[in-house]
Chains A and B, each alone.
Chain A
């Protein structure tokens, strides 16, 4: 219970509209409990109640108009049915897979994500993974540092760990030229790469060559970068055929979602040398990573952390608060639903 601040303040607080939180956002642990605070709304914290969720919602959330889903907390049709007053589902993610969009549409519930607030960080990591992969950065750091002592240059090649591969002049194929894909393109353009892409639709304002078919894209690039979202269509889109088209000299970078790639097939290709390497921030069954990959020097593995920067979390907190405040003031939201089809 809060300390008594006086009748006025308590009443004010009671009048504040409530936003349902299912579980504590990771931000609370990192930045403190006040990082999403506002004087325009307050949080109804489901995890603080001993009641199971459905009972909690029936008892306490009947007049709640907004849900904040963080850390991928699912917003199911079942949950929504227990909250007759809800008009907004705000997620701290860009992805919407954990929200029953169809149910939201049926009910006329607005869905808002955090738009492009992460895009730069994700694009940066895609480039970082790519350079690391082509230039053996993690493998070399391992070599110098943890698992091998530096040793005298051997005869012949000064560096026998495996010489790298030049980035400039390589053909980059971007799968999904949305906010993240565009930023990846802008960065790799500056490295002298030639960019082409596959997307659901051709972008008229973009001059990069468009391939309507991801297999054809793979056949015409050296580096395939997965920047799209996970949908029914994109599930296992990067399959045996695509990897085969990419070929022995090709590499793939995945900063989208694990299930976009047929992981078993990817592992087989890597182990058998049918593609040259991979940089992966996402996997089909996180945090499990196929053990075959753990032994390879031609992969760079990242624990789904593309958005985990201090700066972006702060930017996101600001965006979430601004969106919720706009909602409760009947003003337009800054970031609205990105359609899931």
Chain B
């Protein structure tokens, strides 16, 4: 760990707005004083008491720094999120106020891509369902059902950023045909670009949602997109719950207008629509796409590294703003 910091570094106060990992807490506490917002019953009172001393906020995919929090912390200098997603941070406000923002890109790209492929295989090959079939003793009564081949299928990727690109590369190893939709076409990519998401959905069997959540992309996967994907189509979401109109998704699955889904994210985590719980053509994960020992450590190290860089007056490791 970088020790080139002020002697007074231990006086710098960091507010963690949600639990992330024991490791991250321990590491931040080595260099900073940490307040954990979830420990306080009356959060408003806590903020009022400490607002003039909090200089940094650490968040995650679960919680960040919205306009209200930013406005209530006049000494806030940096928001460091233990996530690549920035949807829980009011970036415009941070920019306006000169507050730095740092996230954790790249270190989690592989794990998220791996999970996307894992979800595709779990849904198409019914791996979770077949595991239950064995555990419950059903196999003794008869063979498991037929499933759907993955190799050679057409995969559509919504969002060809860092994560989308790596997902495409992995799918290529399965001889999949790749198409994508993105805000702009990417040069030097051998995949077919679909400027219209509905067209992409009509032309692929598996649609992977890998774009970031912004005001523009909320519910970008809507009823029309889901219908275009169709009764044999599978939706995989490793982005953010709000990218998909969850209500429409549930209705499409219940009515058989969509063939299946693999979801790591939901609109109101940790709540999952009750109707999905009984569906065997759906695999549900509790937002774990970056949840490996190795990656969580790398993410935490980046958060701490960014904090230390900022307060050590050095360039941020992974700045956003």
Contact = CB atoms under 8 A, between A and B. Distances in A.
B38 interface: yes
A312 B149 CA distance: 7
A298 to B, nearest CB: 12
Interface stretch (B50-58, B120-128, B223-231): B120-128
A84 interface: no
Q: Which of A136, A190, A294 has the most CB of B within 10 A?
A: A190
A300 B294 CA distance: 22
A260 to B, nearest CB: 19
A36 interface: no
Interface in A134-173: 134-138, 140-146, 150-159, 161, 163-168
Instruction: Give the interface size bracket for A toward B.
Output: 35 or more
A124 interface: yes
Contact of B127 (A26, A138, A190): A138
Contacts of A156: 19, 21-22, 25
Contacts of B271: 150
Given A127-B121, A166-B111, A166-B292, A308 B147 contact: yes
B175 to A, nearest CB: 8
A123 B296 CA distance: 29
A166 B131 CA distance: 22
Interface string B250-284: 00000000000000000000111000111000011
Contacts of A311: 148-149
Contacts of A153: 18-19, 62, 270
A191 interface: yes
Contacts of A187: 170, 173-174
Interface string A92-128: 0000000000000000000000000000110111011
A58 interface: no
B293 A166 contact: yes
Contacts of B135: 294, 301
Nearest to B121: A128
A332 interface: no
A10 interface: no
B291 A124 contact: no
A150 B131 contact: no
9 contacts: A128-B127, A145-B276, A151-B270, A158-B60, A159-B287, A288-B140, A300-B131, A302-B131, A310-B149
Contact of A302 (B130, B146, B172, B287): B130
A222 to B, nearest CB: 12
Nearest to A141: B128
A138 B131 contact: yes
B272 A144 contact: yes
B144 interface: yes
A215 to B, nearest CB: 27
A305 B147 contact: yes
A137 B19 contact: no
Contacts of B146: 30, 308-310, 313
Q: Which of A132, A166, A300 has the most CB of B within 10 A?
A: A166
Given A132-B127, A150-B271, A151-B270, 14 more contacts: A158-B287, A159-B286, A159-B287, A159-B291, A161-B286, A164-B111, A168-B114, A191-B110, A287-B140, A289-B139, A300-B131, A305-B144, A305-B147, A313-B146
B134 A140 contact: no
A33 interface: no
A304 to B, nearest CB: 8
A140 B172 CA distance: 27
B95 interface: no
A135 B128 contact: no
A289 B21 CA distance: 37
Interface string A184-200: 00110111100000000
Q: Which of B134, B149, B286 has the most CB of A within 10 A?
A: B134
Given A135-B288, A158-B19, A191 B270 contact: no
